[in-house]
A and B are shown apart, each in its own frame.
Chain A
Amino acid sequence: MTDQLSEHGGAAALRGSRRRSLAPSTGGRPWTFYILAALFTLYVVGLYGPMVCIYILSFQDVRGGLVFPMRGTSLHWFIDLFTQVRTGDVKGAFSRSIRLAMVVTVITVVISFMSGLAFRKRFAGDSVVFYLMIGSLVAPGLVLGIGVGLICNLLGIETSWYTTALGAQLSWTLPFGVLVMFAVMSRFNNAWEEAARDLGASAWQTIWLVIIPILAPGLVAVALFGFTLSYDEFTRTLLTAGSLNTLPLEIWSMTLNVTSPSLYALGTVTTLISFLIIGICLGTIARIQKRRATGPVAH
């Protein structure tokens, strides 16, 4: 089917180019294809090139420096990262960041899910709530962080990564989660809920047996957002995390005083973790959807 389509499309493009004699075309592709392909390649290189440089440089051996050329290959700087005290408390920061991200994820998923259900109907003050939420999304993170820090100072609350930083991060992840949830809910048919009620399901049974399973892929997407946004949140966390650093804060402080490829090794490790989590989430969504589409299709 796809082949047929592309063949058909190709033929049409060929006919089009002949009729309008657009330009010299090679292999049936119009010249615009090459321009756009070049543009796209530049874009991808610009997007991933800098990151790839960091990953490559992190695999140097003990003689390694902060710039190219590459000096030898080893895992030296990865070991250095977790064993040397002078590189900072990477292990601690890493574990704090993961734990914080997990808490943020759970809270974000639960509240986004509930607001998704609530916003299906109009209620008094719904637009106020919505715009307040968008407001916290567009507010400059650093200013918001400073504000949280100031209030805590005023009220005599001690800032720490699991209280004030958690709150500051939620002001960022919640609006995102809710917006994703809105998109997810737009495909939810309220008749499912009614049908469950009609068949005798209680409110809880409707939620557990119907709503959550149907929305599961969307909820995983919200979780993914919550986790990754929290895991690399910097600006809102900077002035609210208190004395112990989260991973992004640790990396930042390392850029100020660590002048070895350890820094790059850290970048590589955190990226791997991020990809791992994204992979797990996408895999889960794919599995849910595959489970729903097994077996031959009728007619």
Chain B
Amino acid sequence: MPIDNGSIELAGIVKSYDGINRVVDGVNLRIADGSYCCFLGPSGCGKTTILRMIAGHEDPTDGEILVGGQQVVGLAPVDRRTAMMFQSYALFPHLNVRDNIAFALRVRGMSTPERRKAADAMIEKVRLTELADRLPAQLSGGQQQRVALARAAITGPKVLLLDEPLSALDEQLRVQMRQELRRMQRDLGITFIHVTHTQLEAIAIADTVVVMEKGRIKQAGPSRDVYDQPRDRYVAEFLGGQNVLSGRIARIEGDSAMISAEDMRDVIVPLGSRRTLSAGDRVDFAVRRDDVDLTRPEVSAGSLSAKVPSRVRAVEYQGNFVKVILDIVGNDELIAYVPDRVFYRDPLSVGDVVIAGWEKDKTRMLA
């Protein structure tokens, strides 16, 4: 039975090259057909290895890979209905754009005029018509990427695997090409799995973000969930935009914990799902940088549940907001993102004493 949809299921995937160290260490994941999924993690976290195992360029040491509901371990890449876009695109340097794109059809034995026609149709789709006779070396990075995309897509795969597709491009082009990738994914209506180490890229483009560390999945979910509700310190710090603070639970009051630490007293944090915590436990909690309000000590901080006295260490203007870096609380950095209109009503300068505060329900207990 041919594979006719691009859903992916990874069940207990383990990969080890030497039998001792596990590059991928028991990964379970389901990716819906036609969705855009990003694997996010630092280099060496095993994300590329997972991609290559789905593609069939490596075999898992243990576990099962299902594409469209069918076990594919041991099958050749071409029988999996997957196609891979390599990190540096791996365009064939001796073939022009048209022949690169038509390569898959050529090895399937399609006649020259037929495959030229098919390739030209695809070339038009990625808007490279004027460049069809150029060699890869004569193209810009963005054009090369479009060729790589077209080359991978011409066989009508159900899953497209992209290994750091934007890393070879400069910043401006990266933003532009990531929109193009998303557009192509919608046009083709197939599953895209995209590996990256850039969190902004992942959350901007993906339906599902999978955060990895040392061969394991730390958190998987919609972009917004992963960014707004990180499960633990690692995810919160990797995704950024969060202050991760730690302290000791002074007491439990209803469904909230009162946390204290050096420079910080009785910060109320909802327990969330961590009902088993009790007084005396050391915990990490997070509060988004843009949820931190700064007030001068002489002004009443109003109803904010947490009030941490601090001092401004640095101020960075970021355009639409101002990044205010405060003196460290305990061992942790405290940063506030203040909208620039708000900030410039009463600009703070380095050395100013401020009260950093936030609403109780803006904090989140981390695992």
Residues of A within 8 A of B (CB): 189, 191-192, 194-202, 205, 209-210, 213-214, 216, 292-299
Contact = CB atoms under 8 A, between A and B. Distances in A.
Given A214-B94, A293-B137, 9 more contacts: A189-B90, A192-B90, A196-B103, A196-B107, A198-B55, A200-B78, A209-B103, A293-B135, A298-B143
Interface stretch (B80-88, B264-272, B313-321, B322-330): B80-88
A292 B131 contact: no
A295 B134 contact: yes
B77 interface: yes
B234 interface: no
Interface string B103-136: 1101110000000000000000000000101110
Given A295-B134, A295-B135, A191 B90 contact: yes
A194 B140 CA distance: 23
Contacts of A196: 92, 103, 107
Binding site secondary structure of chain B = loop
Contacts of B134: 295, 298
Given A298-B140, A299-B140, A202 B90 contact: no
B341 to A, nearest CB: 39
B80 to A, nearest CB: 10
Given A209-B103, A292-B93, A198 B84 contact: yes
A197 B56 CA distance: 10
A284 to B, nearest CB: 14
A202 B108 CA distance: 10
Contacts of A214: 92-94
A297 B140 CA distance: 9
B139 interface: yes
A298 B94 contact: no
B131 A189 contact: no
B131 A199 contact: no
Given A199-B103, A199-B104, A209-B106, A292 B92 contact: no
A198 B137 CA distance: 21
Contact of B92 (A198, A202, A210, A297): A210
A290 to B, nearest CB: 11
B138 interface: yes
Contacts of A191: 86-88, 90
Contacts of B103: 196, 199, 201, 209
B209 to A, nearest CB: 25
Contacts of A198: 55-57, 77-78, 83-84, 152
Contacts of A297: 138
B90 A295 contact: no
12 contacts: A192-B92, A198-B55, A198-B56, A198-B77, A200-B107, A200-B155, A209-B106, A216-B94, A293-B135, A293-B137, A295-B138, A298-B134
A189 B83 CA distance: 19
B321 to A, nearest CB: 34
Nearest to B57: A194
B151 interface: yes
Contact of B94 (A189, A194, A202, A213): A213
Given A194-B57, A296-B138, A298-B143, A205 B84 contact: no
Which 4 pairs show the lowest CB-CB distances between chains A and B? A191-B90, A200-B78, A199-B104, A195-B90
A201 B107 contact: yes
B92 A200 contact: no
Nearest to A202: B107
A209 B107 CA distance: 9
Contact of B108 (A192, A200, A209): A200
Given A200-B78, A209-B107, A298-B138, A194 B143 contact: no
Contacts of A294: 135
A174 to B, nearest CB: 27
Contacts of A295: 133-135, 138
A197 B140 contact: no
Given A195-B86, A210-B92, A214-B93, A200 B135 contact: no
B123 to A, nearest CB: 15
Contacts of B78: 198-200
A284 B325 CA distance: 63
Contacts of A210: 92
B155 A194 contact: no
Contacts of A199: 78, 83, 103-104, 107, 151-152, 155
Nearest to B79: A200
A286 to B, nearest CB: 15
A131 B66 CA distance: 46
Contacts of A213: 94
Contacts of B135: 292-295
Interface in B7-33: none
Nearest to A197: B77
A199 to B, nearest CB: 4
A202 B92 CA distance: 16
Nearest to A299: B140
A202 to B, nearest CB: 7
Contacts of A296: 138
Given A199-B103, A200-B107, A194 B133 contact: no
Interface in B300-355: none
Nearest to A195: B90
A122 B182 CA distance: 40
Interface string B137-166: 111100100000001100100000000000
Nearest to B86: A191
Contacts of B92: 192, 195-196, 210, 214
Contacts of A194: 57, 84, 86, 90
Nearest to B161: A198
B303 to A, nearest CB: 56
B92 to A, nearest CB: 6
A215 B251 CA distance: 71
A292 B84 CA distance: 25
B86 A298 contact: no
Contacts of B151: 199
